[in-house]
Structure 1
Amino acid sequence: MADLIGVHVRQVSKYEMGTSLPTLERIRRMAEVLQVSADELVFGVTKRKAGESPAIRYPVLAERLRKLDAVVTRDDLKSIVDFLDAFIAKKQIDQIANGRG
């Protein structure tokens, strides 16, 4: 790996131990060598394929979203997004008020 990204073996060891951080160019090169995205390398995030939905933690929500997708209009979508934004904001305010945020 060290030779492939242009650093000394000790430097790679420092990256692995977290005592040194690679530059963006080194991250780009490591991702290229390992044939993964920089996001996956840095954050452990795998890129989704085109059209693939993000994982949803609660199956009941995933099912409702699938049903909704077939019948929603633009106006409906705006109302739903506005509701979700308000719900999320309220939960965040509640967390702050209760000292958890």
Structure 2
Amino acid sequence: MRLDKFLKVSRLIKRRTVAKDVSDQGRVLLNNREAKPSATVKIGDELDIQFGQRTLTVRIERLTESTRKEDVAGMYTILKEEVRKREDDPFGL
């Protein structure tokens, strides 16, 4: 399955065009390598996705072409979630 489609179907990113843009900007790593939107993902792969100040690391558990909202939980496992502190924030928020 293509990376941009997985991000959309798993609801990690709401729209496929946004998933494509995020990948094109180099904000998605597939197994610690920068990934293009057309990269093929498979079960067991790890994704690092940067959302602004937050980085989410997930492992792909299941691939399906389409899914309902209730079934999304089994598609990936969150391994780590980090929030970077802004350097210009004196309070560390």
TM-score (normalizing by structure 1)? 0.21
Higher relative contact order (CA 8 A, sep 6+): 2
Which structure: greater helix fraction? 1
Bigger Rg, structure 1 or 2: 1
TM-score (normalizing by structure 2)? 0.22
